[in-house]
Structure 1
């Protein structure tokens, strides 16, 4: 297989990178600020006999640093990928968007794309980025009597800034909200994916390989399929306290807090009972014959429960990794909490492969067309 050059930004535990490598890319340099995740990268690269430079702070790395590390020049890198930290765009947060220092890290992504000039880029983020505003006005300050929203307060204004930056750099792009379950990942997980082309090649978002209904495509993969034949003799997980077990043992497979007896709800839910939102993560037990919900960074916390479908415990570290699609021999450095966090923050490798396959199809289609044109020219001569 031909290998295409790739630089990874905001690398984490290498979920996206693993998928891209399965599609035919070779990651020549990584950038990751978290020292725990950097150790995960180093350990697995060493285990695989791989050499690659791992940089620390994306705000301090220059395009020339990355080019020197890859022995390539401006315009020679095939792909740069990464997902700037997503907390500012999360619908669960304060939605500070690009005024948040973490939100501004997308400008470093832009800066490095501008300096490296890769043939393609991939940028991923959470669903909330689509509706985030540059300047968030609290809900309490809106309504019929409030002044109209300013342009920079409108939903989607932050995302438009990002798209405008790619246009300024001369890249065309496609973007969409992709559900990992549609690409064979046994998990409902939505991510916004932007694929850019420097040379305006007809790159496309990957076509789904699976569907909820199973009509025309294989049906979504289930938790049962995901965990089949997993060897996890001493599963790592934080035990639930007795106060939680008392209620979790009443939850059927696939259920959550709504399955508790009505008279127990005030005690079980506390102040959350009358708060807004669906609260679907409270006392949630997974279902064997459905995809997993989105793997979180803390599957044992009260609001993000991911209780095993038939045991009174959270899913284990290795089960979470298997649901995400990491190889069983992938090593996650750090404490149990560190490992859960790295797994929960990752892009499922199988989704990464689908994205990479789509880019490679564009590359190979271009090569095939060039070869045909060359042959026709030779025949005509």
Structure 2
């Protein structure tokens, strides 16, 4: 006799949201019966689906494509693909994303759900260049673009910044070495702002200054990036980069990322072409807002704030944070954090309707990085997260809700991906153009390769030897 379980229990077993479990029932993927306004699900059907999914996700697979289809598209290989936000933009610019390489279990499931014909590989450290090309069904010299955002925690200013002395940093170097062997016409590296300043080897501050040796190149601010640039320069690639605010490319979010564009022929690529500006400078439209992003959304799946935080949110309006509370309530709300340094702008933060969202985080209900709806007493929903990062509403996300937030929060906005893809495609077609003179890409200084190189050299007491790391 078959045992039936609730939709909530089925969702827990499959590690998906109840909404996704209901979708599986409606599509008859799961055996289920609707009773009134809810579903009861056949438990054996859930176990069978779970076993099939686990077997499928555990296996890498090559690209599946119709050889009679469109073969004129330039070919791209994606690494550290995540939920494919960057890839969606590059795909929209006209590329065939032939391969995705991703280690995270839930991201792999998401890729399979949405792009089942794309070759899927796992841990980048497990594969040779030959194996990658075989999975993508490509010969040598047929790759137009390799793109990837290596794990950023090794370079983030919020972490310990171990650079390449970290397993995640080693994955970065593996990516660079694979690119040098595969020799794509263009290589694009995406990362956090911390990459610009992270040393390759960190020397404790109490071992610097008078009485200690001068810092080596590896120990200097920016030493990790310098090492990567030297590797690529030695292989014949030119590298241009800048720190880009995604709002300047049509994203309703002020997310900043370093984009490095490397060209096999040694010619310098121009900066990305902006489509928007904060106040409409250069004749461009103004930045998109949170209101623009979420227009028309009706369904919301979200986490919840604890009551001890909600009592403060009820005093805040759109665009406000803890600083808008009475001083006594500020101290009560923040506790010991009230007396710590820093701006603390992430505490009790409601978004503004008329501005872009701040940078999405991997969990919208953590005390120091709250992302609350402008008016409703809740964190942003996963549907709002998808809109802000510019995933299609139909894009399926695998895993429990907290993992869905993590996937979307770690993604690159699709509009920024499109700007990258369009630039590379224009370079392939010899029609790339420079952005408007004097365009301000981010709020920080010394973020372009011109300024960064000058600042790196200023750190040294003697001129930097050419390729001195080799």
TM-score, structure 1 as length reference: 0.91
Shift of 1:199: 1.4
- Give the whole-Å Cα distance in 2 for the aligned partners of 1:285 and 1:143: 42
* Residue correspondence of structure 1 range 228-267 to structure 2 within 5 A: 228-232=295-299, 235-267=300-332
Cα pair distance change 1:137/1:272, threshold 3 Å: farther
* Residue correspondence of structure 1 range 309-328 to structure 2 within 5 A: 309-328=374-393
Shift of 1:265: 2.1
Number of the residue aligned with 1:373: none
What secondary structure, in the 3-state scheme, does the structure 1 residue paired with 2:83 have?
A: coil
Instruction: Decide which of 221, 224, 239 is 1:173's aligned counterpart.
Output: 239
Shift of 1:200: 2.5
Number of the residue aligned with 2:420: 355
Number of the residue aligned with 1:212: 278
- Give the whole-Å Cα distance in 1 for the aligned partners of 2:213 and 2:354: 47
- Give the whole-Å Cα distance in 2 for the aligned partners of 1:40 and 1:146: 54
Larger displacement relative to structure 2 (282-291 or 127-136): 127-136
- Give the whole-Å Cα distance in 2 for the aligned partners of 1:281 and 1:208: 28
Instruction: Decide which of 82, 85, 90 is 1:20's aligned counterpart.
Output: 90
What secondary structure, in the 3-state scheme, does the structure 1 residue paired with 2:139 have?
A: coil
Instruction: Decide which of 24, 28, 34 is 2:104's aligned counterpart.
Output: 34
Contact 1:125 1:193 in 2 (8 A): yes
Is the counterpart of residue 86 in structure 1 residue 152 in structure 2? yes
- Give the whole-Å Cα distance in 2 for the aligned partners of 1:201 and 1:24: 22
Provide Cα deviations, 1:322-352, integer angstroms capped at 9, x if missing partner: 0011011001100000000000000011100
Provide Cα deviations, 1:214-257, integer angstroms capped at 9, x if missing partner: 1221100000001111242xx21111111000111112211111
User: What CA RMSD, in Å, does the superposition of the two structures yield over aligned residues?
Assistant: 1.7
Number of the residue aligned with 1:114: 180
Number of the residue aligned with 1:54: 120
- Give the whole-Å Cα distance in 1 for the aligned partners of 2:105 and 2:81: 11
Shift of 1:71: 2.4
- Give the whole-Å Cα distance in 1 for the aligned partners of 2:140 and 2:301: 45
Number of the residue aligned with 1:126: 192
Q: How many residues align?
A: 360
Is the counterpart of residue 10 in structure 1 residue 10 in structure 2? no
Contact 2:238 2:268 in 1 (8 A): no
- Give the whole-Å Cα distance in 2 for the aligned partners of 1:352 and 1:170: 25
- Give the whole-Å Cα distance in 1 for the aligned partners of 2:421 and 2:101: 19
Contact 2:240 2:268 in 1 (8 A): no
Contact 2:239 2:268 in 1 (8 A): no
Q: Which 5+ residue runs of structure 1 have no aligned equivalent?
A: 368-381
Shift of 1:136: 2.4
- Give the whole-Å Cα distance in 1 for the aligned partners of 2:359 and 2:104: 22
Is the counterpart of residue 225 in structure 1 residue 225 in structure 2? no
- Give the whole-Å Cα distance in 1 for the aligned partners of 2:350 and 2:187: 38
Contact 1:32 1:58 in 2 (8 A): yes
Contact 2:276 2:286 in 1 (8 A): yes
- Give the whole-Å Cα distance in 2 for the aligned partners of 1:148 and 1:271: 39
Cα pair distance change 1:268/1:122, threshold 3 Å: same
Number of the residue aligned with 1:377: none
- Give the whole-Å Cα distance in 2 for the aligned partners of 1:63 and 1:362: 25
Shift of 1:145: 6.5
Number of the residue aligned with 2:115: 45
Number of the residue aligned with 2:222: 156
Larger displacement relative to structure 2 (271-280 or 169-178): 271-280
Q: Which 5+ residue runs of structure 2 have no aligned equivalent?
A: 1-69, 433-470
Larger displacement relative to structure 2 (3-12 or 196-205): 196-205
- Give the whole-Å Cα distance in 2 for the aligned partners of 1:213 and 1:334: 39
Shift of 1:362: 1.2
- Give the whole-Å Cα distance in 1 for the aligned partners of 2:373 and 2:325: 17
* Residue correspondence of structure 1 range 280-359 to structure 2 within 5 A: 280-359=345-424
- Give the whole-Å Cα distance in 2 for the aligned partners of 1:214 and 1:71: 45
Number of the residue aligned with 2:54: none
TM-score, structure 2 as length reference: 0.74
What secondary structure, in the 3-state scheme, does the structure 1 residue paired with 2:384 have?
A: helix
- Give the whole-Å Cα distance in 1 for the aligned partners of 2:175 and 2:263: 15
Provide Cα deviations, 1:43-89, integer angstroms capped at 9, x if missing partner: 0014xxxx121001100111111111222222210001001100011
- Give the whole-Å Cα distance in 2 for the aligned partners of 1:343 and 1:356: 20
